[in-house]
């Protein structure tokens, strides 16, 4: 029998994948069964028999050319942490958007507190106690942190004018910020925060709602280790308060740590459910991609010893830390990992190396020769490429097709007498699509409709289609599923083996340790140390990240 | 569309042409075999007026009487029209074109009449300040020139003319600012029809009605009221009603082959008149009668 | 008052001082009263515009609305004999309806604000001209409405009542924009409408309300303008007033991308523009240069502001780093 | 030709047919020639505007530039006796310089296009008026420039040369916009300037080039307009032409947010606008309604287009659902 995310007994086993309409019917039956059982409350049934706070039945959602969700059913019980995993484009965000009222499903019902709906609105969703941290950030740069946290639910002063009580706003915001481990105050303008700091604000915002269910759509995708730990603690605290959490992440070890139950999505359908004691990395991977991964998302060892220094920064100062010079060199054929805490200035450094921002001092050298970068175009001309941190804003053009995005940096090569050849573009794009396994109907598909992970692959593809000398990747696997991660690591290694100098900025500790040949760690705008392979350990990286000496 | 059409094309939307409209109406009553139209271009610009006339020619208009936006330099455009239809000019002439005749008044003479008013009201001399919509427009330039000519050799002086781009709020503010900037001014001239009422109101607001001599042009109701009250010395009026009425009849006659109404030099001047306190009632009554028919 | 506003205030005072030195009559109470009257008229217009700009929209039909509603108002009370206490709220309501229509087209049918209000600009002027058959709407000689005239064109203790009206409106609108929930939503929508929607805000209604506010304030200023000029030729009345209003907002620090600007700023912007017009007349600069002076000053103002904020940001960053560097080791 | 353009073409033909039925003189060669002459003049202007709009910018100073450069051109050749083969490239260069200045202020100093070109609108008109001391620049009686006149106001086989010029320019610009690398960059920048920058495009230069193109085309049309009216009163010449140009682009499917629109669209937009003007005059509609008709048609056009694309999208989605539903169980 096809089983659902409902446990009838203590027996733990991996459920079979369910499909299509059948699952919806079963869900209904299960629901009936479950409500029936409520009358015979039995200790052995435990938490699982508490009436679900929310349930989805037979939910289906299509986009032009894509079935994002198909006959999906799910129940969420109070105080339960559900880990939701699946490959890029499996439909996780779509599912959450339906719960958040941002999109409406084509078919299926959503039952909240026993009331069935065809779809929710944002207000209804918030009204029934669903708090939502979106995968893409949704903050207002022109407002301060406190205003953002309580946006839409501002404390009001007495009187008919609906004036905002600004003092209370601040006092309410402060403890929330503390809880997520923020190092900035409630009246900081959001425009001054880094991406990770903004993510903390988003989480604080979700916590501020008197929520019964908190949905976290890849909240840790740009959070470094310490902050991630704090978030996982927060999740545990929520659970203790009887609040349910749906936690989406591609970092499976995080899911392992907090989830009571793991729901795996594949191609918009339920691939299976793992009860608490069956949650482990390999099982999740198996359900997600239908097979076991041999290597645990690691890059292969480098094929040859690193060569000479390709790109180096000598006493370069960035606008994030104008008084702190940075010295760093990336060698040919190596993957240099760059780790550090939130706001340690890694992105800023990458921007300077790529010519987007002017350095405030010091020199850059490429192959031993001084290099002056007036703009990103100069960097590209010199073979220095950057895969930026924020792909929606800076990585790709959502409105252009995959092919057009891939050819954009190298358009003259796809043109004759400066007239663009659509055929040449398509040829390049097809090749990249195949190489990287980009999941899309065709290369003419608008990139905006791709899932986050596939968008990231497009960003990579546009640089791989050219011949890089130095490749800088800022959080390259942010929001990328593990299957694709392994592929990207493979690509990075292949680049390095082809003699490219690879600089990988990452906040994912496993990734930094698993992929790099050397690790440089940044602390407050400076390189606090460089670790060689034999010195690699989480502890050493963390020590350097807070400015202490490694062991 | 069997009846031939005669068109009267003005140079822009303004109340000034309301009297002409009445004239066209009266002529229409007497010319049942023709279809008479009065056309406003949607903007006071050469290109738009030219286009309007082109379209009228296309629509089969037999004769056009036009108050050209810029007659001096529109020779070619007007000639193009004249080659396809009977063209008459009004309000301001374009003597170098192939127009058949001009019917209207002389703005220079009107300026001179304004000087007469000033001289009569200020025998001891004084300083005048003028206000106008478009300083560069021909009618404004000619009126100013005429007035300066008329004042030559007297103790009255036209010290400056301020433009407002036909923005009435600016027109009024210009007067207010002038009262502040030049306290020694003893007379104000409103060269466009709406300038005089704005002068009147600004003076009234400042409590200076009667202390400053106001010379007006045209017959805005406020201007006429001021003349009657004695706070506006007098106003120089043109007779657009007559231009339109006589002009339409003239065109009809011309089309029928009767060219007797057209003088040798092609100029039919309907003189401007000074309307002072004594004539204002009769003039107003006449005006009412004209538009009332 | 933000530093930006302070800079603008200083500019206004400096320009004023220079003019006063060249022509001391600039400071005559009567001149100040005249100018503040126009500040009142244009200020009301500009505040309305500001509410729309803050949402990232624009209202180009303002000048035409001033003409259309002005014509109607004068026609109602002068020709049709409607009492002004009836006509006034009626006109304000019409202004609100126009705003509502724009807001509806923009939020419900997803049309671009520039397009909708550009069409408004064309349509309303056309309707106004058609209504009077291209004639002028005005009061007959001696036609008086003492209370209305006192309220609109009158003075109290030498201060024009239009200016007092502006002050009152500005205070109310300051509270609405800077202290109320509605104002906060406006800023948020201007910056990131999508996110506001995700936060459960009925963004459509909020934006519509902004256009309605703009419509009503425009209607009010249309009445003030009508009572100031007392005669309206619909072909030209109010032409370019939208540009004045937008210019005032931009000078006052508003970004046309939305989400930025303060109410004090837009008032100061209006003051500067009117001061410039006054200056052209008082210093005897040829009227033809009026526009050029205005354009030049706006450009310089915006440039200085922009360069200054670049400079400030750089300094702030330096300072923050220094502080951060000092504080961090202690953590 | 996209479906959008096709819709517009059909609208133009339907309107034309209706007008021709009511007044068959609409189809007279002379009328078509007159109208196509104006289509040529305004079309060149609108193409320039389109290049700026595609980058997400706007060029409001177009009307004033037409006035200023027109005045200068006439002054150069009529008063100062400069040969037109010298004056013409000089004016085009001036147009390019103006465009460059705007582009520089916008890309290098980060000012908003709306603000920069609004200041341009005010300044250039002021300068033009000051230059002629508010007088009119025009040719003296009998002053003739046969070759120049043939090129600008003449006809070949009954077709106005201005229209032929438009066609040539349109073909060249079509290739530039839709087929060239530069054109792709323009679209990319209009969609997301930041991302374009991160792809190694020198966005500043590309945007500047767009403004220069706009400036040069505006200068060219300024010469055409000058030779059409043969007299320029700088206070009113070219007023509102920026609105015509923007309206043509918007009707032609351009989005003011940038990154959308086709060259054929902007030409068809110009054609429709001129057809409407022609229609008002030919059908004897009061000219006071001219603007209202124009505004109304733009609004309806944009509305229909918008509603239609909503409908199309919905149908597409439905289809996808049906297909998906059929395919899913088989998996
Ligand atoms: N607005 C949209 N228009 C068209 N297709 C869409 C849209 N949003 C999502 N999709 C498609 O729906 C599918 C599911 O996307 P979704 O964002 O839910 O994936 P996801 O599981 O969250 O992936 P990721 O881990 O990469 O975030 C994808 O194939 C995606 O291309
Ligand atoms: N636009 C900005 N304005 C002001 N400060 C900024 C801005 N962007 C970044 N910062 C600050 O600069 C510092 C360095 O940020 P950067 O993004 O380089 O750090 P990072 O190491 O990449 O960290 P993260 O993990 O947050 O991406 C941080 O203190 C951040 O707050
Ligand atoms: Mg997702
Ligand atoms: Mg970073």
Nearest Cβ partner of A419 from D180, D188, D197? D180
Q: Nearest 5°: CA angle at B59, between B57 and B73? A: 25
Per-residue confidence band for A13, with pLDDT thresholds at 50, 70 and 90: very low
Per-residue confidence band for C321, with pLDDT thresholds at 50, 70 and 90: low
Query: What is the fold of D3-321?
Result: ABC transporter involved in vitamin B12 uptake, BtuC (1.10.3470)
Instruction: Give the distance from residue A184's alpha carbon to the nearest chain C alpha carbon, in angstroms.
Output: 11
Q: How far apart are CA A308 and CA A331, in angstroms?
A: 5
Instruction: Give the distance from residue D152's alpha carbon to the nearest chain C alpha carbon, in angstroms.
Output: 30
Per-residue confidence band for C30, with pLDDT thresholds at 50, 70 and 90: confident
Q: Which residues line ligand 2 (CB under 6 A)?
A: A 192-196, 222, 320, 340, 342-348, 389, 507
A177-214: per-residue pLDDT in tens? 888 778 888 888 888 887 778 878 888 888 888 788 88
Q: What whole-number percentage of chain A has pLDDT above 90? A: 17
**Is C194 in Cβ contact with A152 (below 8 Å)?**
no
pLDDT, residue A291, reads 63
Q: How far apart are CA A321 and CA C314, in angstroms?
A: 11
A422 at interface of D, judged by CB pairs closer than 8 A = no
Which whole number is the average pLDDT over B182-211? 90
Phi and psi at residue B265, in whole multiples of 5°? -85, 0
Q: How far apart are CA B259 and CA B268, in angstroms?
A: 13
- Are the C-beta atoms of residues D87 and D76 closer than 8 Å to each other? yes
Written in H, E and C, the secondary structure of chain D is CCHHHHHHHHHHHHHHHHHHHHCHHHHCHHHHHHHHHHHHHHHHHHHHHHHHHHCCCCCCCHHHHHHHHHHHHHHHHHHCCCCHHHHHHHHHHHHHHHHHHHHHHHHCCCCCHHHHHHHHHHHHHHHHHHHCCCCCEECCCCCCCHHHHHHHHCEECCEEHHHHHHHHHHHHHHHHHHHEHHHHHHHHHHHCHHHHHHCCCCHHHHHHHHHHHHHHHHHHHHHHHHHHHCEECCCCCCCCHHHHHHHHHHHCCCCCCCCCCCHHHHHHHHHHHHHHHHHHHHCCCCHHHHHHHHHHHHHHHHHHHHHHHHHHHHHHHHHHHHHHHHHHHHC
Mean pLDDT of chain A: 81
Distance A443 CA to ligand 3 centre (A): 21
Nearest C-alpha to atom 16 of ligand 1 is from which residue?
Answer: A91
pLDDT, residue D323, reads 57
**Is C302 in Cβ contact with D120 (below 8 Å)?**
no
C136 at interface of B, judged by CB pairs closer than 8 A = yes
> Cα(first)–Cα(last) distance of chain C, in Å?
35
pLDDT, residue A456, reads 86
Residues with CB under 5 A from ligand 3 (ion): A 93, 135, 452
Q: What whole-number percentage of chain C has pLDDT above 70? A: 95
C partners (3+ CB pairs within 8 A) are A, B, D
Instruction: Give the distance from residue B80's alpha carbon to the nearest chain D alpha carbon, in angstroms.
Output: 12
Instruction: Give the distance from residue B103's alpha carbon to the nearest chain C alpha carbon, in angstroms.
Output: 23
- Are the C-beta atoms of residues A155 and A140 closer than 8 Å to each other? no
Which whole number is the average pLDDT over D141-153? 81
pLDDT, residue A50, reads 65
Nearest C-alpha to atom 5 of ligand 1 is from which residue?
Answer: A449
Bigger pLDDT: A539 or D320? A539
Q: Which residues pair with A248 in a beta bridge?
A: A84, A217
- The answer, yes or no, to whether any atom of ligand 1 lies below 6 A from the CB of A92, is yes
Which whole number is the average pLDDT over D58-87? 92
Per-residue confidence band for A360, with pLDDT thresholds at 50, 70 and 90: confident
Nearest Cβ partner of A376 from D187, D200, D317? D200
Per-residue confidence band for B98, with pLDDT thresholds at 50, 70 and 90: confident
> Counting Cβ atoms within 10 Å, is residue B255 exposed (0-12), middle (13-18) or buried (19+)?
middle
Nearest CA in chain A to C187: A142
pLDDT, residue D81, reads 86
Per-residue confidence band for A39, with pLDDT thresholds at 50, 70 and 90: very low
pLDDT at residue C79 greater than cutoff 80:
yes
- The answer, yes or no, to whether any atom of ligand 1 lies below 6 A from the CB of A97, is no
pLDDT, residue C323, reads 53
Q: What is the CATH number of domain A1-17+294-383+468-551?
A: 3.40.50.300
Q: How far apart are CA A404 and CA A410, in angstroms?
A: 10
CB count within 10 Å of CB C82 equals: 15
A469-505: per-residue pLDDT in tens? 999 999 888 777 777 788 888 888 888 998 999 999 9
CB-based burial, D202-222: b 16+ in 10 Å, e otherwise: bbbebbbbbbbbbbbbbbbbb
Mean pLDDT of chain B: 87
Which atom from ligand 2 is nearest to the alpha carbon of C324? 29
- Are the C-beta atoms of residues C273 and C251 closer than 8 Å to each other? yes
pLDDT, residue A23, reads 42
Which whole number is the average pLDDT over B226-240? 91
Per-residue confidence band for A1, with pLDDT thresholds at 50, 70 and 90: very low
Which whole number is the average pLDDT over A507-522? 88
Distance A217 CA to ligand 3 centre (A): 7
Nearest Cβ partner of D130 from C122, C256, C288? C288
Q: Strand ranges (DSSP E) for A440-500?
A: 470-474
Ramachandran bin of A471, using left for φ above 0, alpha for ψ from -120 to 50, beta for the remaining angles: beta
Instruction: Give the distance from residue A385's alpha carbon to the nearest chain D alpha carbon, in angstroms.
Output: 9
- Are the C-beta atoms of residues C151 and C95 closer than 8 Å to each other? no
Pull the structure tokens for residue A424.
């040449």
Q: Residues, chain C, total?
A: 331
Which whole number is the average pLDDT over B255-269? 87
Per-residue confidence band for A89, with pLDDT thresholds at 50, 70 and 90: confident
A406-445: per-residue pLDDT in tens? 999 988 888 888 899 889 999 999 999 988 888 888 899 9
pLDDT, residue A100, reads 86
Per-residue confidence band for A45, with pLDDT thresholds at 50, 70 and 90: very low
C162-213: per-residue pLDDT in tens? 999 999 999 999 999 998 999 999 999 998 888 888 888 889 999 999 999 9
Q: What is the pTM of this model?
A: 0.83
A375 at interface of D, judged by CB pairs closer than 8 A = yes
C94-135: per-residue pLDDT in tens? 999 999 999 999 999 988 898 899 999 999 999 998 898 877
- Which residues of chain C make contact with D247, given a CB cutoff of 8 A? 118
pLDDT at residue C215 greater than cutoff 70:
yes
A partners (3+ CB pairs within 8 A) are C, D
Parse chain A into domains and list their residue ranges: 1-17+294-383+468-551, 50-129+212-293, 140-209, 393-466
- Are the C-beta atoms of residues D67 and D232 closer than 8 Å to each other? yes
Q: Which ligand is nearest to the CA of A195?
A: 2
Pull the structure tokens for residue C124.
């309303």
DSSP A447: G
Per-residue confidence band for C322, with pLDDT thresholds at 50, 70 and 90: low
- Which residues of chain B make contact with D288, given a CB cutoff of 8 A? 13, 40, 42
Nearest CA in chain C to D245: C118
Least-confidence region, from A15-24, C284-293, D41-50, D217-226: A15-24
ipTM for the predicted complex:
0.80
In this complex, whether B and A touch, counting 3 or more CB pairs under 8 angstroms, is: no
Least-confidence region, from B102-116, B141-155, D276-290: D276-290
Helices D263-282, D290-327: inter-axial angle, 10-degree rounding: 140
pLDDT, residue A168, reads 87
pLDDT, residue C319, reads 66
Bigger pLDDT: C235 or C49? C49
**Is C192 in Cβ contact with A140 (below 8 Å)?**
yes
pLDDT, residue D149, reads 85
Which whole number is the average pLDDT over A265-270? 86
Distances (CA, A) of D192 to A159, A395, D110, D262: 44, 10, 16, 18
pLDDT, residue A299, reads 59
Which whole number is the average pLDDT over D120-140? 86
Bigger pLDDT: D92 or B207? D92
D115-129: per-residue pLDDT in tens? 899 999 999 999 998
A139-176: per-residue pLDDT in tens? 888 888 999 888 888 888 877 778 888 888 888 888 88
Q: Which ligand is nearest to the CA of A91?
A: 1
C141 at interface of B, judged by CB pairs closer than 8 A = yes
Q: Which ligand is nearest to the CA of A133?
A: 3
pLDDT at residue A26 greater than cutoff 60:
no
Bigger pLDDT: A330 or A362? A330
Nearest CA in chain A to D201: A377
pLDDT at residue C327 greater than cutoff 70:
no
Which whole number is the average pLDDT over C32-61? 94
Q: How far apart are CA D179 and CA C47, in angstroms?
A: 45
Which whole number is the average pLDDT over D213-234? 90
Mean pLDDT of chain C: 88
Of B13, D293, D239, D242, which Cα lies nearest the Cα of C122? D293
D partners (3+ CB pairs within 8 A) are A, B, C
Nearest C-alpha to atom 18 of ligand 1 is from which residue?
Answer: A91
Query: What is the fold of A50-129+212-293?
Result: Rossmann fold (3.40.50)
Mean pLDDT of chain D: 88
Bigger pLDDT: C246 or A19? C246
How many Cα atoms occupy the beta-carbon half-sphere of A541 within 13 Å?
Answer: 27
A329 at interface of D, judged by CB pairs closer than 8 A = no
């Amino acid at each position: 029998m096809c089983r659902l995310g409902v446990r009838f007994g203590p027996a733990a086993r991996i459920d079979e994948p369910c499909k299509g309409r059948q699952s919806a019917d079963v869900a209904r039956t299960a629901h009936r069964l479950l409500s029936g059982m409520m009358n015979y409350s039995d200790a052995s049934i435990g938490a699982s028999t508490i009436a679900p706070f929310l349930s989805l039945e037979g939910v289906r959602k299509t986009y032009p050319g894509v079935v994002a969700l198909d006959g999906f059913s799910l129940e969420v019980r109070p105080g339960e942490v559900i880990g939701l995993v699946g490959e890029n484009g499996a439909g996780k965000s779509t599912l959450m958007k339906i719960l958040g009222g941002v999109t409406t499903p084509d078919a299926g019902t959503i039952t909240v507190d026993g009331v069935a709906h065809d779809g929710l609105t944002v207000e209804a969703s918030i009204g029934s106690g669903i708090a939502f941290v979106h995968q893409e950030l949704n903050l207002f740069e022109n407002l301060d942190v406190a205003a953002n946290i309580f946006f839409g639910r501002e404390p009001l002063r007495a009187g008919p004018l609906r004036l905002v009580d600004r003092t209370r706003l601040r006092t309410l915001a402060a403890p929330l910020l503390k809880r997520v481990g923020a190092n900035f105050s409630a009246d900081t303008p959001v425009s001054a925060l880094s991406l990770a700091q903004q993510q903390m604000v988003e989480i604080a915002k979700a916590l501020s709602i008197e929520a019964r269910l908190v949905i976290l759509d890849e909240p840790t995708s740009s959070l470094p280790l310490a902050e991630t730990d704090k978030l996982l603690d927060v999740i545990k605290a929520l659970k203790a308060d009887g609040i349910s959490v749906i936690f989406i992440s591609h970092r499976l070890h995080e899911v392992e740590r907090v989830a009571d139950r793991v729901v795996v999505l594949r191609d918009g359908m339920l691939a299976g459910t793992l009860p608490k004691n069956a949650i482990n990395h390999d099982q999740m991977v198996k359900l997600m991609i239908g097979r076991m991964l041999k290597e645990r998302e690691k890059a292969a060892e480098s094929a040859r010893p690193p060569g000479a220094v390709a790109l180096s920064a000598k006493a370069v100062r960035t606008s994030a830390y104008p008084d702190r010079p940075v010295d760093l060199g990336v060698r040919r054929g190596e993957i240099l990992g760059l780790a550090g805490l939130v706001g340690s200035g890694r992105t800023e450094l990458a921007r300077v190396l790529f010519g987007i921002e002017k350095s405030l001092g010091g020199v850059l050298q490429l192959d031993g020769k001084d290099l002056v970068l007036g703009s990103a175009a100069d960097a590209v001309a010199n073979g220095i490429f950057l895969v930026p941190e924020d792909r929606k804003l800076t990585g790709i053009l959502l409105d252009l097709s995959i092919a057009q995005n891939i050819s954009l940096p190298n358009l003259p090569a796809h043109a004759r007498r400066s007239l663009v050849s659509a055929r040449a573009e398509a040829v390049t794009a097809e090749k990249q699509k195949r190489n990287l396994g980009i999941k899309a109907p065709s290369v003419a598909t608008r990139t905006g409709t791709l899932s986050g992970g596939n968008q990231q692959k497009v960003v990579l593809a546009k640089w791989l289609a050219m011949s890089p000398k130095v490749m800088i990747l800022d959080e390259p696997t942010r929001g990328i599923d593990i299957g694709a991660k392994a592929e990207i690591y493979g690509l990075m290694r292949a680049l390095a083996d082809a003699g490219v100098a690879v600089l990988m900025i990452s906040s994912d500790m496993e990734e930094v340790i698993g992929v790099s040949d050397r690790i440089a760690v940044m602390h407050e705008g400076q390189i606090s140390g460089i670790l060689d392979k034999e010195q690699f350990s989480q502890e050493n990286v963390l020590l350097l990240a807070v400015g202490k000496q490694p062991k | 569309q069997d009846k031939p059409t005669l068109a009267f094309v003005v140079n822009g939307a303004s109340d000034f042409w309301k009297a002409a409209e009445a004239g066209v109406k009266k002529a229409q009553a007497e010319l049942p075999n023709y279809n008479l139209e009065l056309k406003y271009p949607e903007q006071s610009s050469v290109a738009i007026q030219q286009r309007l006339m082109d379209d009228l020619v296309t629509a089969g208009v037999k004769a056009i009487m036009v108050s050209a936006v810029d007659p001096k330099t529109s020779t070619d455009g007007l000639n193009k029209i004249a080659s396809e239809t009977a063209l008459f000019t009004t309000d301001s002439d374009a003597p170098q074109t192939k127009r058949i005749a001009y019917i209207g008044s002389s703005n220079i003479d009107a300026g001179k009449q304004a000087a007469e008013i000033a001289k009569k009201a200020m025998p001891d001399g004084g300083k005048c300040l003028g206000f106008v919509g478009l300083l560069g427009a021909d009618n404004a330039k000619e009126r100013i020139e005429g007035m300066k000519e008329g004042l030559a050799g007297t103790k009255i002086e036209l010290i400056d003319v301020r433009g407002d781009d036909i923005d009435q709020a600016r027109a009024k503010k210009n007067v207010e600012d002038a009262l502040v900037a030049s306290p020694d001014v003893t007379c104000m001239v409103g060269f466009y029809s709406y300038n005089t009422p704005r002068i009147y109101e600004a003076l009234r607001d400042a409590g200076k009605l009667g202390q400053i001599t106001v010379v007006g042009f045209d017959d805005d109701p406020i201007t006429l009221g001021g003349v009657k009250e004695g706070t506006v010395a007098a106003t120089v009026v043109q007779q657009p009603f007559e231009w339109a009425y006589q002009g339409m009849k003239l065109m009809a006659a011309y089309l029928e082959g009767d060219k007797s109404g057209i003088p040798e030099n092609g100029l039919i001047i309907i003189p401007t008149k000074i309307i002072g306190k004594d004539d204002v009632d009769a003039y107003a009554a006449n005006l009412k009668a004209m538009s009332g028919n | 008052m933000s530093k930006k506003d302070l800079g603008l205030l200083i500019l206004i005072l400096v320009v004023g001082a220079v003019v006063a030195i060249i022509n001391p009559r600039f400071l005559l109470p009567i001149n100040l009263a005249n100018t503040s009257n126009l500040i009142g008229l244009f200020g009301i217009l500009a505040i309305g515009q500001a509410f729309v700009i803050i949402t990232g929209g624009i209202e180009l039909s303002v000048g035409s609305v001033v003409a259309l509603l002005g014509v109607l108002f004068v026609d109602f009370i002068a020709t049709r004999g409607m009492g002004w206490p009836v006509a006034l709220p009626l006109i304000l309501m019409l202004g609100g309806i126009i705003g509502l229509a724009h807001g509806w087209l923009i939020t419900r049918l997803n049309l671009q604000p520039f397009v909708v209000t550009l069409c408004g600009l064309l349509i309303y002027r056309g309707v106004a001209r058609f209504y009077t058959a291209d004639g002028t709407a005005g009061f007959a000689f001696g036609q008086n409405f003492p209370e209305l005239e006192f309220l609109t064109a009158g003075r109290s203790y030498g201060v024009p009542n239009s200016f007092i009206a502006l002050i009152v409106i500005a205070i109310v609108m300051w509270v609405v924009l800077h202290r109320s929930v509605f104002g906060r939503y406006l800023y948020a929508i201007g910056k990131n409408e999508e996110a506001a929607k995700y936060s459960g805000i009925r963004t459509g209604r909020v934006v519509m309300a902004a256009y309605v506010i703009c419509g009503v304030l425009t209607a009010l200023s249309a009445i003030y303008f009508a009572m100031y000029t007392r005669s309206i030729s619909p072909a030209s009345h109010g032409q370019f007033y939208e540009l004045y209003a937008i210019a005032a907002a931009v000078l006052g620090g508003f970004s046309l991308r939305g989400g930025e600007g303060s109410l004090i700023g837009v008032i100061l912007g209006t003051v500067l523009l009117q001061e410039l017009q006054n200056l052209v007349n008082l210093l005897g600069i040829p009227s033809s240069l009026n526009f050029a002076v205005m354009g030049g000053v706006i450009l310089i103002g915006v440039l200085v502001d922009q360069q200054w904020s670049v400079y400030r940001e750089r300094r702030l960053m330096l300072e923050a780093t220094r502080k951060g560097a000092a504080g961090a080791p202690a953590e």
